[in-house]
A and B are shown apart, each in its own frame.
Chain A
Amino acid sequence: MRGLKLGLPVFLGYMPVGAAFGILATGLGFSTLQACACSATALAGAGQFIALPVIRAGESVLAVLAATTVVNLRYVLFGATISPYLRGLTLPRQALLAYFLTDETFAININDRRAGLSTGWSMFGVGVISWVGWVLGTLMGAAAASWIGDPSRWGVEFAMPAMFVALLIALAENRQHVIVASLAIAIALALPAASLVGVNIPSAWFIVMASVGAATIATLMFPERESA
Chain B
Amino acid sequence: MSDRFIWSVVIGMALANFLVRFIPIAIVSRVELPGPIMRWLSFIPASVMGALVAAEVFRPGGSWIDPVHSPYGWAALLTGLVYWRSRSFLGATLAGMLGFVALRAWLG
Contact = CB atoms under 8 A, between A and B. Distances in A.
Interface of A: 8-10, 12-13, 16, 28-31, 34, 37-38, 41-44, 47-48, 51, 55, 59, 61, 64-65, 68-69, 72-84, 86-87, 89, 91, 94-95, 97-99, 101, 103, 106-108, 110, 153-172, 176-178, 180-185, 187-189, 192, 203, 206-207, 210-212, 214-216, 218-219, 222, 225
Given A162-B93, A181-B49, A214-B50, A99 B22 contact: yes
A158 B21 contact: no
Contacts of B44: 77-78, 80-81, 211, 215
B21 A98 contact: yes
27 contacts: A12-B90, A12-B93, A28-B1, A61-B8, A69-B16, A75-B20, A78-B48, A80-B41, A82-B25, A83-B29, A103-B48, A103-B49, A161-B53, A165-B80, A165-B83, A165-B92, A168-B50, A171-B45, A177-B46, A180-B50, A184-B51, A187-B51, A203-B62, A207-B55, A211-B47, A215-B41, A225-B39
Interface in B48-66: 48-60, 62, 64
Chain B: interface size category: 35 or more
A211 B21 contact: no
B25 A98 contact: yes
Q: Which 6 A-B pairs have the closest CB atoms?
A: A162-B96, A79-B24, A184-B50, A41-B14, A181-B50, A9-B90
Interface of B: 1-3, 5-14, 16-18, 20-30, 33, 36, 38-60, 62, 64, 71-72, 75-76, 79-80, 82-84, 87-90, 92-98, 100-101, 104
